[in-house]
């Protein structure tokens, strides 16, 4: 796994993977309906320190290989302001104790470290595709689950603090937080192009259409909710100025949603002209491929994994498609997969026989251990927000958010100082945990030099 210096690339555009740091309150609360891993591991003991170090380990491995790697901070947790808004009163310790006694699920929600999965943070359009030549960001409203609905305000501040230069970056408002405009961010969005700096086609995948569509038509998931709406995806495309010729809207297969594929990035991943996908990724597979072929300026390279090779159950358990697909200077690609892919015989055999030995650019598979994240339903691809940036745009970033050897060392030492090595849902009521977390986050904003992005810093 090797890559040249990003700033020496001829086209000057690279994809920066901004990974979310795992927060100090990482725990297994089983909050996410439709996320099989999250529901299965609810109530187990978590190790926040190990989780954060695993994430940093993946970031450093990619940085060492020459890929551009960024860092995004976690959210402020527990969110005591929301608990007070919901009627809990008293000191911080009293608010936590009352919430633990009267509404433990609320306490678990306001302590969630789910912002580590920055694929849900926003949807991004690079300057190469935008009519005004700027990079466009829309934070996801994440309205389908309460614990994630708490994230967008801080996410917007963080993105605005890092991508600050108005001449280069455009920030859009979060979509209305209603079921009709349910938006889960880049986890349901893939950009396909010949290269990062070339004009691309944006594949938006939705689970349901809010207006004029229903279960009676036989295309709705029956077991779990569809989190992304067609209307949300269309609104983001309008915000970013994308033309009809630049977009394809495809419905996710409802059977995959009912199998636990709560986001499209759990069933397909795209990079450059390559689309790696499961047979049950899209409701109308052929129409989706035809639309992409029609609109792409370069030939689409579809890499199809049939259900007879990998079942939906094995796809969800292994998170094969929630892998990072990365471009190399020689035109090949590297697939970064979670360790769970080795534990499923059908998945590992498919990686060796279909992917590595197939007629496609994937030439290398790298296995990374992100077990702490996987147990809550997030693989390597969930942990990063993809942002295509030119050299000038990278130079204009504010703060210390592009990973370097010194920054990695500082962040590792920061985790070692502030994170616990065990945390259960019962521990979330500990007022000392809240104090530890605020101290950690205050120090982190100084390390990253991003200013006062947290509510407790802005009061």
Would you please indicate which residues are annotated as catalytic (active-site) residues? 184, 263, 382
| Residues in CB range of 446: below 8 A, 6 or more apart | none
Map tokens 């926003």 to a residue: 122
DSSP labels, 132-162: TSSEEEEE---TTSHHHHTSHHHHHHHHHHH
Q: Hey, what are 6's tokens? A: 């990003």
Closest CA to 323 of 345, 308, 305: 305
Is the Cα dihedral 340, 4, 52, 77 positive or negative? negative
* CB burial of residue 45 (10 Å; 0-12, 13-18, 19+): middle
Q: Hey, what are 256's tokens? A: 């995959």
| Residues in CB range of 294: below 8 A, 6 or more apart | none
Beta strands across the sheet bearing 362-368: 324-327, 333-338, 362-368
Q: Is the peptide bond before 206 cis (omega within 30 degrees of 0)?
A: no
Closest CA to 13 of 172, 193, 204, 245: 193
Is the Cα dihedral 305, 309, 313, 315 positive or negative? negative
Q: How far apart are CA 50 and CA 421, in angstroms?
A: 7
Q: Hey, what are 224's tokens? A: 């779990």
DSSP structure class, residue 356: I
Q: How far apart are CA 388 and CA 7, in angstroms?
A: 13
Closest CA to 75 of 2, 139, 167: 139
């Amino acid at each position: 796994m090797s890559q040249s210096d990003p700033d020496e690339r001829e086209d000057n555009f690279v994809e920066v993977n901004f990974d979310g740091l795992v927060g100090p309150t990482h725990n297994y609360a089983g909050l996410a309906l439709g996320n099989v891993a999250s529901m299965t591991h609810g109530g187990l003991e978590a190790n926040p320190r190990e989780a954060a170090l695993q994430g940093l380990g993946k970031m450093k491995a990619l940085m060492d290989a020459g890929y551009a790697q960024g860092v995004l901070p976690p959210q402020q947790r527990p969110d005591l302001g929301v608990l007070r808004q919901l009627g809990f009163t008293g000191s911080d310790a009293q608010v936590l104790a009352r919430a633990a006694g009267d509404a433990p699920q609320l306490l678990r929600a306001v302590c969630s470290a789910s912002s580590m999965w920055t694929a849900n943070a926003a949807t991004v359009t690079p300057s190469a595709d935008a009519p005004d030549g700027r990079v466009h960001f829309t934070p996801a409203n994440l309205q389908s689950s309460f614990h994630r609905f708490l994230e967008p305000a801080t996410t917007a501040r963080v993105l605005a603090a890092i991508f600050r230069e108005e001449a280069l970056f455009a920030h859009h408002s979060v979509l209305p937080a209603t079921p009709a405009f349910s938006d889960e961010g880049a986890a349901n969005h893939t950009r396909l192009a010949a290269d990062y700096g070339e004009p691309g086609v944006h594949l938006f995948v939705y689970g349901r259409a809010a207006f004029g569509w229903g279960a009676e038509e036989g295309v709705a998931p029956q077991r779990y909710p569809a989190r992304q709406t067609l209307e949300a995806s269309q609104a983001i495309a309008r915000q970013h100025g994308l033309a009809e010729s630049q977009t394809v809207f495809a419905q996710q297969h409802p059977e995959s949603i009912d199998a636990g594929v709560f986001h499209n990035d759990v069933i397909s991943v795209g990079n450059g002209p390559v689309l790696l996908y499961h047979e049950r990724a899209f409701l109308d597979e052929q129409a989706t491929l035809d639309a992409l072929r029609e609109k792409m300026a370069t030939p689409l390279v579809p890499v199809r994994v049939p259900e007879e090779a990998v079942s939906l159950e094995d796809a969800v358990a292994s998170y094969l498609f929630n892998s990072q697909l990365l471009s190399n200077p020689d035109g090949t690609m590297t697939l970064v997969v979670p360790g769970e892919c080795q534990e499923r015989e059908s998945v590992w055999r498919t990686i060796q026989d279909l992917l590595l030995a197939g007629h496609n650019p994937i030439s290398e598979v790298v296995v990374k251990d992100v077990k702490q994240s996987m147990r809550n339903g997030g693989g390597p691809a969930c942990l990063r927000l993809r942002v295509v940036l030119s050299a000038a745009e990278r130079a204009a970033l504010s703060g210390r958010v592009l990973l370097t050897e010194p920054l990695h060392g500082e962040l590792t030492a920061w985790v070692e100082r502030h994170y616990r090595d065990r945390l259960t849902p019962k521990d979330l009521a500990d007022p000392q945990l809240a104090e530890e977390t605020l101290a950690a986050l205050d120090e982190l904003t100084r390390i990253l030099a991003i200013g006062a992005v947290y509510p407790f810093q802005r009061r």
